[in-house]
Chains A and B, each alone.
Chain A
Amino acid sequence: MSHHDDLIATDVLAYLNVHESKSFLRFITCGSVDDGKSTLIGRLLYDSKQIYEDQLVIIEKESKKLGTQGDKVDLALLVDGLAAEREQGITIDVAYRYFSTNKRKFIVADTPGHVQYTRNMATGASTADVAVLLIDARYGLQEQSRRHAYIVSLFGVKRVVLAINKMDLNNFDQSVFNAIEVDFRKFSENLGFLDITCIPISALNGDNVTTLSNRSKWYKGPSLLNFLEHVDVDQNSFEAPFRLPVQWVNRPNLDFRGFSGTITSGIINVGDSITVSPSGKRSKVKEIVTHGGNLKTACENMAITLTLEDQIDISRGDMISTSDSPTAQADQFQAHILWMNEKELFPGRQYLLKTINKTVLASISNLKYKVDINDFSEVADKTLGLNEIGVATLVLSAPIAFDAYADNRKTGSIIIIDRQTNETVGVGMIDFALRRSSNVVWQDLEVNKLIRAKQKNQNPALLWFTGLSGSGKSTIANLLEKRLLDLNRHTYILDGDNLRHGLNRDLGFTKVDRVENIRRVGEVSSLMVDAGLITIASFISPYKAERQMARDLLGDKFFIEIFISTPLDVAESRDVKGLYAKARAGEIKNFTGIDSDYEVPENPEIEIDTTKLSAAEAAEIIVKYLKDNGFLSGYDL
């Protein structure tokens, strides 16, 4: 390989060091049949000295045989691989090409531009950070070019180079260049590109491809290669929330249980709190394991294995996130779909839907519209054919953890597989989750407690926490609510803090007032349960009769009494709010346990002994009770 780098001959170790620290860029080239795309890539390979002499000899021979470029070497022959296309003189699939400079290694997805090959361009765009759109200066912005720009934007490519080619044919006429640039910028206003760079080139002669040409002195920007070497594509990844789709559970022996996967965004540190979707379980990162040694920190694109502080059940298909920003999960989506198979899409048919690490059954329940790729208008249709793009609703057999494609290409993308042939027949980009409420029509039904609850994918209940002051009611109730929220449930906590300051402001702590306090709490809880919420009431509620009153109001089915059992001396020794001290000093009257009785519940549904269990364990027991008794449908999916 004719790397004309003096370092190789003089100091190969220094050369290796330079090349070991190279960065990495994937880009896609798109253009119509005769825009000169293969010639451009051939030129990049040729000019960056990536071609062996024996390859060149073969190409020279073939160039003469085919006569496409007169006596000159047809550089396109370097990249047009398959026999069929060599005969037809066109590229018919995605080809990947590799070259590198001292600064970067490049992977080029070379994709064809004709209408029927939208799917190939989509393939190349799906992993590209930059798109190089070729425009033939003679014809300006064609329908094809618009289509290419639309597809790369749809697939999330944010940076575009408009390589205006064949400028040698108009002697590098600046007005031609400017007109095309203006046209393109106007057209692409709504395509969401972060950056558009226009470069006048001649792929055939190499002007402005690797070095700036003196035939276009008016052009002040970078050469194409210079741009590609310097464009910064890593800048967003760091701030994104941490996502690790679990690929494989690493279990070499009983003492090691690791979760292997490639980080799709963000960073993770040892000690970070994590949440697992869909179970909602939480833990902390114990180790970040790699073959080369454990790490303290790992970031996007790294393939790692995590071990956790707690023994929690995680399997392939789960997603590990940091607890401050867990992934959403849902079983109904709106998505943009590109169909890739000759057999058209059948709405309602069951397909396999595959995310980066999970496969579920799914059907396309409703095709909202098809995109006319020529003018991007929305067209009503019942199905999608090969290379057609549409917006549709997907219904899955089980929920998946996901991000919107706009936020994360790797956790927002899906492929659709035919169950009979196992072919990949379509791909999708998730726009957003649909709640059942937003699309299902309820008008012809009477809206009641159960329907409201069903909409929330849960059975409502009143979880009544009773126990001494300082027994741990609020702590456990708050943890429980967080857990339920992680599981996508709808909850509300009623406690002294939010009721005594408003609704019950007029009540004191005499026995009469306490009874009235609990009556009101019972009534408010009843309304909340009727609204379909899992309601948590956390009150000392010392008297059996009042707790029974609340139970009667809700009905046994919806009332779960949870006794937080803490001996008085333990609660008093905790004395978080300093109330016991004040009560002992006589500053507070009627304080339960001191000078007012607490009547221990006889048959609570759940009893928690806080001298034996931590608050988190207590919350877990309650979640298990709810799950086992059918309050959390779909928990295990």
Chain B
Amino acid sequence: MSTIKEFLIRVEAYAAISEQSVSTLSRKLLNDGKGIARLKAGGQCTLKTLSTAFTRLENYERDLLGKDNVNMTHLEHLEAEAIHIMREVVAQCENPVMLYSVGKDSSVMLHLAEKAFYPSRPPFPLLHVDTTWKFKEMIKFRDRRAKEVGMDLIVHINPEGLAKNVGPFTHGSAEHTDIMKTQGLKQALDKYQFDAAFGGARRDEEKSRAKERIFSFRTVQHRWDVKNQRPELWNIYNAQVKKGESLRVFPLSNWTELDIWQYIYKENIQIPNLYFSEKRHVIRKDGALILVDDERMPIGPDDTVEEKMVRFRTLGCYPLTGAIESEANTLPDIIKEMLLATTSEREGRIIDADSGASMEQKKEEGYF
């Protein structure tokens, strides 16, 4: 009888996949350890018995199929978590925005936003706080990506800073960063009255970030009160704010640098070419290799412009971002280099190097 034949074929297939013996299955399906052996030998059974056994087998097959799916990889977990966070913000907040800094973390965040709301477009604009000292290539990349994704892009430059011609060479890195970046960001958030802003910060970047909430509350003055953070349990996020108060939301909180790179590789996410090594014109300043990105770069009599194979591990203002000498010009090579590196990624940034608690102070004052 053909149904018995089909049953036996499926039992054997299931036994092989599930690594169970046929007699075990026989017991489970027919309440009789020798039942299947008898059927194989040409034995018969009632239609009712066969139908019951079929139903049980189908349940087992479904279980097995499902179990394969249950084993999500860590990247799938992280992706789902970030999507959940983004959807929560859109559902709970009135006027969210995504801070887009053009770096690799922003690229991942943008990609996740496309996924979270698909087939809709992400229902919020992108905001870039431009210090006017970003790498030229970053600006090109930014404009192109915003157009491709079809999202509105708001670019804000601190008008007072612009009027005073603030820059790292004239005002020093600390003042430049404060005026053009920190103050600029606050201005933009106030101007557009955003009640939530996505940021691409990760908890593994720096010690003080390890305790930052995913939904991180900011006062009307944009201050972060470390000791008075809202408890954050399960995946229930409290996004209640009063007028003028806001939230910084970090969907990548639980990602590490390796996760970011691995995800870029797996999902084939676009990142600026600056991450890839090529021949670039650089000057050595205080031990760091600085790209000659435009004519504002002061080149003294002792400075020599060299052409070197370099790339960048993080992207910021070009005068404050040191390049590394490298031959890595493919993603796997970059990842390989990152894995074999012996210094952490923020080391190239001048802002962390001051003292252990510096970042924490900066954050209390409103730095992202």
A contact set with B: CB distance below 8 Å = 1-3, 5, 8-9, 12-13, 15-16, 19-24, 52-55, 58, 62, 79-84, 86, 92-98, 100, 104-105, 107, 110, 119-120, 122-123, 126-127, 234, 237-238, 247-248, 250-252, 256, 258, 260-262, 267, 289-292, 297-303, 305, 316, 340, 352, 354-357, 409-410, 413-415, 417, 422-424, 427
Cβ–Cβ < 8 Å partners of B332 in chain A: 12-13, 16
Main SS of chain A's interface residues? Answer: mixed
B99 to chain A, nearest CB (A): 21
Q: Is the CB of B91 within 8 A of A83?
A: no
Within the assembled complex, what's the spacing in Å between the Cα atoms of A427 and B238? 12
Q: Which B residue sits closest to A49, measured CB to CB? A: B339
Q: Is the CB of A262 within 8 A of B341?
A: no
Within the assembled complex, what's the spacing in Å between the Cα atoms of A119 and B111? 35
Q: In this complex, which of B63, B91, B115, B338 has the most chain A Cβ atoms within 10 angstroms of its Cβ?
A: B91
Instruction: Choose one: B70, B241, B258, B338; the contact of A19 (CB below 8 Å).
Output: B258
Q: Is the CB of A247 within 8 A of B88?
A: yes
**Within 8 Å of chain A (Cβ to Cβ): is B298?**
no
Q: Would A262 and B210 be within 8 Å (CB), given that A1-B339, A52-B343, A247-B84 are in contact? A: no
Q: Is the CB of B234 within 8 A of A126?
A: yes
Within the assembled complex, what's the spacing in Å between the Cα atoms of A424 and B228? 11
Q: Is the CB of A12 within 8 A of B74?
A: no
Cβ–Cβ < 8 Å partners of B339 in chain A: 1, 3, 5, 8, 12, 15
Q: Is the CB of B207 within 8 A of A81?
A: yes
Within the assembled complex, what's the spacing in Å between the Cα atoms of A107 and B202? 13
Cβ–Cβ < 8 Å partners of B75 in chain A: 20
Q: Which B residue sits closest to A56, measured CB to CB? A: B342
Cβ–Cβ < 8 Å partners of A427 in chain B: 231, 233
**Within 8 Å of chain A (Cβ to Cβ): is B356?**
yes
- Contact bitstring B239-255, A, C-beta under 8 A = 1, else 0: 01110010000000110
**Within 8 Å of chain A (Cβ to Cβ): is B130?**
no
Q: Is the CB of A1 within 8 A of B242?
A: no
Q: Would A262 and B262 be within 8 Å (CB), given that A234-B71, A414-B236 are in contact? A: no
Q: Interface stretch among B100-108, B117-125, B175-183, B285-293?
A: B117-125
Q: In this complex, which of A8, A94, A248 has the most chain B Cβ atoms within 10 angstroms of its Cβ?
A: A248
B132 to chain A, nearest CB (A): 30
Instruction: Choose one: B71, B115, B245, B343; the contact of A54 (CB below 8 Å).
Output: B343
B330 to chain A, nearest CB (A): 10
**Within 8 Å of chain A (Cβ to Cβ): is B357?**
yes
Q: Would A267 and B69 be within 8 Å (CB), given that A261-B87, A355-B236, A424-B230 are in contact? A: yes
**Pair count A-B, CB < 8 A:** 222
Cβ–Cβ < 8 Å partners of B208 in chain A: 81-83
Q: Is the CB of B87 within 8 A of A303?
A: yes
21 interchain pairs (CB within 8 A)?
A1-B342, A3-B339, A20-B266, A53-B342, A54-B342, A54-B344, A62-B356, A82-B357, A83-B360, A96-B211, A110-B210, A238-B70, A256-B119, A260-B87, A267-B66, A302-B72, A302-B76, A303-B79, A414-B236, A422-B240, A424-B231
Within the assembled complex, what's the spacing in Å between the Cα atoms of A98 and B260? 13
Within the assembled complex, what's the spacing in Å between the Cα atoms of A260 and B335? 34
Q: Is the CB of A1 within 8 A of B211?
A: no
Q: Is the CB of A300 within 8 A of B70?
A: yes
Q: Is the CB of B70 within 8 A of A20?
A: no
Instruction: Choose one: A84, A96, A119, A297; the contact of B66 (CB below 8 Å).
Output: A297
Cβ–Cβ < 8 Å partners of A251 in chain B: 120
Q: Would A123 and B87 be within 8 Å (CB), given that A297-B66, A422-B238 are in contact? A: no
B282 to chain A, nearest CB (A): 21
Q: Is the CB of B233 within 8 A of A248?
A: no
Q: Is the CB of A82 within 8 A of B360?
A: yes
Q: Is the CB of B211 within 8 A of A95?
A: yes
Q: Would A423 and B230 be within 8 Å (CB), given that A1-B338, A127-B235, A355-B236 are in contact? A: yes
- Contact bitstring B344-364, A, C-beta under 8 A = 1, else 0: 100100000000110010000
Within the assembled complex, what's the spacing in Å between the Cα atoms of A126 and B338? 33
Cβ–Cβ < 8 Å partners of A300 in chain B: 70
Q: Would A100 and B342 be within 8 Å (CB), given that A20-B75, A262-B80 are in contact? A: no
Q: Is the CB of A410 within 8 A of B67?
A: no
Instruction: Choose one: B240, B253, B357; the contact of A96 (CB below 8 Å).
Output: B253
Instruction: Choose one: B66, B119, B240, B259; the contact of A417 (CB below 8 Å).
Output: B240
Q: Is the CB of B118 within 8 A of A302?
A: no
Instruction: Choose one: A55, A95, A260, A415; the contact of B233 (CB below 8 Å).
Output: A415
B window 191-239: CB within 8 A of A = 203-204, 207-211, 226-227, 229-236, 238
**Within 8 Å of chain A (Cβ to Cβ): is B368?**
no
Q: Is the CB of B204 within 8 A of A252?
A: no
What are the 7 closest A-B residue pairs judged by CB atoms, nearest first? A81-B207, A105-B74, A422-B240, A83-B357, A303-B83, A52-B344, A126-B233
Within the assembled complex, what's the spacing in Å between the Cα atoms of A256 and B245? 35
Cβ–Cβ < 8 Å partners of B343 in chain A: 52-54
**Within 8 Å of chain A (Cβ to Cβ): is B73?**
yes
Cβ–Cβ < 8 Å partners of B77 in chain A: 24, 301
Q: In this complex, which of A12, A79, A93, A234 has the most chain B Cβ atoms within 10 angstroms of its Cβ?
A: A12
Q: Would A262 and B235 be within 8 Å (CB), given that A53-B342, A82-B208, A94-B211 are in contact? A: yes
Q: Which A residue sits closest to B334, measured CB to CB? A: A12
**Within 8 Å of chain A (Cβ to Cβ): is B340?**
yes
Q: Which B residue sits closest to A125, measured CB to CB? A: B233
Within the assembled complex, what's the spacing in Å between the Cα atoms of A153 and B283? 59
Within the assembled complex, what's the spacing in Å between the Cα atoms of A234 and B120? 32
Q: Would A356 and B235 be within 8 Å (CB), given that A52-B343, A105-B74, A262-B84 are in contact? A: yes
**Within 8 Å of chain A (Cβ to Cβ): is B114?**
yes
Within the assembled complex, what's the spacing in Å between the Cα atoms of A97 and B207? 9
Within the assembled complex, what's the spacing in Å between the Cα atoms of A328 and B72? 28
Cβ–Cβ < 8 Å partners of B76 in chain A: 301-302
Q: Is the CB of A84 within 8 A of B227?
A: yes
Identify 4 new A-B residue pairs, CB closer than 8 A, beyond the known A58-B356, A302-B80: A15-B336, A260-B116, A303-B116, A410-B235
- Contact bitstring B281-308, A, C-beta under 8 A = 1, else 0: 0000000000000000000000000000
